[in-house]
Structure 1
Amino acid sequence: MYAALATTVLVLHFCYLAYVVLGGFLVWRWPMAFWPHLAAAAWGLAVVTIPLTCPLTVLEHWARRKAGQGISDRGFIDTYIENVLYPERYTHLLQVLVGVLVVVSYAVAFVKFRHRRAERKMSEPPATV
């Protein structure tokens, strides 16, 4: 049971990471998605810039210990991403690229939002006094 929990938390962690990287594009379709994504992106930024331990990492390590599995003292990204999906020397570059991707997704969302608002104003009948 604990091994299944650890695996579930691992999958959830990957989903969260994907949401941090790509969730800004959801704002293009659903502008109200901005606030949850901003919170997720801010937490992601804090975890990589300040030495914070993600609660999902704590939960995964706890479940792996309970399951009798070995754990590393490293975090999620250090264990499952660096040197697995890309060489460690590219970590800083990829962090910057993710930041740029999020900012660009927000910028395009802002332009789309303003365009939709302008279209809505133009389609409204003139106000009568």
Structure 2
Amino acid sequence: MAGVLAAATMVVHFGALLYIGLGGFLAWKWPKSIFLHVFFAAWGVLVNVFPVPCPLTALENHFRRQQGLGDLPGGFNDHYIIGVLFPADYIHVVAVGALVLLVVSYAGAYVRWRGRRVDADAMVAAR
């Protein structure tokens, strides 16, 4: 059972990372979702820049220890992403790309939100 829970935690962790990277684009459709995304994005920066443990990594490590396995070597990113999904030498390129995605998603959300406000104001004024 611990193996299934560790695998499920890993899947949830990948989902959280996708949301951190791309969730700002959801605010283009659902503007209020930006508040949840800001929390996730800040948390992602916090655990990757400062020595703050990620609760999902801690949870996966807990389930791994129940199986008699050790903690993830180097943590979640080092074990599953860096050197696996992209070469370790490109970490700075990936970080800049993630920042660009974040800025574009937030700028687009703001432009769309602003457009909706202008349209709503125009409708009110037309009455």
TM-score (norm 1): 0.93
Structure 1: 5+ residue stretches without partners:
none
Query: Cα offset for 1:125?
Result: 4.3
Amino acid of the structure 1 residue aligned with 2:94: L
SS at match of 1:83: coil
Amino acid of the structure 1 residue aligned with 2:100: V
Structure 2: 5+ residue stretches without partners:
none
Query: Cα offset for 1:71?
Result: 3.4
**Mapped partners of 1:108, 1:57: distance in 2:** 32
Number of residue-to-residue matches in the alignment? 127
The corresponding residue for 2:43 is 43
The answer as to 2:55 corresponding to 1:87 is: no
Runs of 4+ in 1 over 4 A off after TM superposition: none
Query: Cα offset for 1:50?
Result: 0.9
Please report the RMSD computed on the Cα atoms of aligned residues, expressed in angstroms.
1.3
The corresponding residue for 2:18 is 18
**Mapped partners of 1:125, 1:118: distance in 2:** 10
Query: Cα offset for 1:18?
Result: 0.3
**Greater CA radius of gyration, 1 or 2?**
1
TM-score (norm 2): 0.94
